[in-house]
Structures are given as C-alpha cells and as structure tokens.
Amino acid sequence: MGRTFEGSLVSPKGRFALCVARFNAFITEELLSGAKDALVRHGVAEDDVDVFRVPGTFELPAVVRRVADSGQYAGVVALGAVIRGDTTHYDYVCNEAAKGIAAAGLQTGVPVIFGVVTTENTEQAIARAGGKSGNKGWDAAMTALEMANLLPQIKA
Ligand code: INI
C-alpha cells in the first residue's frame, strides 16, 4: 500500500494572516475571534497572527491574493459574512468572493481558506458565528493549520 499524507493540527513554522470584512461586523468579529482562538490554542504565537481588514467580502480576494503573494505567511484565512436578506447582489458578492479566494490559493500555492459565511438570513449567520452551529472562523483556521502542514509534504 502506498503512503498517506495528511496535515497535522500543530503550529507550523510561520505566520498566519486573517483577512476580515467589516460588512456585517457583528458576525465577522465573532469569526475573527474564533479564528484567532483556534490558532493560538494550537500553538501559534499571538504575535504571529496578523489581521487585515477590508470593507466587504467582495474586497477579500484582492487583499488575500496580495497577502498570499507576499511570501510572509504559512496560511491565509478569508473571513466574511454575506446574508441574502441584506442584499440584491448576494449572488455576485458570494460568487466573486469564492472564485477570487480560491484563485488566490491556487495561483500562489499558499493555503488560502474560505471562511465566508453565506446564509439566507441573520439568524443562520449568528448560528455559524459562535452559535449553535459552531464558529466557522474557528473551522477555517483549523483548515489553514492542516493545509499549512500538508502542502509542504508534497514535493514538486
Ligand atoms: N458585503 C458583505 O461582506 N456582506 C454582505 O452581506 C454584503 N451585502 O449585503 O451587500 C456586502 N456588500 C458589500 C460588498 O462586499 C462590497 O464591499 C461593496 O459592493 C463594494 O465593492
């Protein structure tokens, strides 16, 4: 049988970037707290976690791409909240954010994680930001840790 590769959840060498949208801040600040908490509890030094704030989720791809390209980070997490009830351009914001964030990861080779909550209403968003469905910021940070430990194992 061949080998199995997987990333551990311990802190790798390097810094992490948390890119967070201000729009729907009452949700995104909870995602940010969850993400920081996950990293620090898994051994990442607080000083090794940088925060980049952007106006809205639509702006996340540009910043995430620049941050990933800087070569300074082992992992990048994009945090936002898009609530359908709030906007008629929900689909545009979600689609562009998802495409742009994915592209940043693929184009740079840095783990770039999609921590954007996309919901029908505010109640669902609250449930995912520390409510009964957990904290998607925490989940995204854990994914960043795992991917930051997995990708370096795969040699070109
Ligand atoms: N941005 C969000 O992060 N979430 C939303 O729900 C949202 N709504 O409802 O419109 C939203 N809009 C702003 C958008 O992300 C951009 O900041 C704006 O369009 C300027 O480019």
pLDDT of res. 87:
65
Report CA 136 to chain centroid distance, whole Å: 9
Find the mean pLDDT for residues 79-93.
Answer: 87
Strand partners, 75: 16
Query: Going by DSSP bridges, is the β-strand pair 15-21/129-131 parallel, antiparallel, or unpaired?
Result: unpaired
Residue whose Cα lies nearest atom 12 of ligand 1: it is: 56
Q: Answer yes or no: 42 catalytic.
A: no
Ligand 1 contact, 28 CB (< 6 A) = no
pTM of the predicted model over 0.85: yes
Find the mean pLDDT for residues 88-106.
Answer: 94
Q: What is the pLDDT of residues 57-85, one digit of tens each?
A: 999 999 999 999 999 999 999 999 999 98
Q: How far is the CA of 55 from the centre of ligand 1 (A)?
A: 8
Report CA 30 to chain centroid distance, whole Å: 13
Phi/psi region, residue 31 (left: phi>0; alpha: psi -120 to 50; beta: rest), is alpha
Find the mean pLDDT for residues 1-22.
Answer: 96
**What is the rounded CA–CA span in Å between residue 33 and residue 49?**
12
Q: How far is CA 102 from CA 43, 98, 117, in A?
A: 26, 6, 15
Q: What is the pLDDT of residues 104-156, one digit of tens each?
A: 999 999 999 999 999 999 999 999 999 999 999 999 999 999 999 999 999 88
- Phi first, then psi, for residue 81 (nearest 5°) are -140, 115
Ligand 1 contact, 24 CB (< 6 A) = yes
pLDDT over 70 at 86, yes or no: no
pLDDT of res. 156:
80
Residue keyed to tokens 């689609």: 95
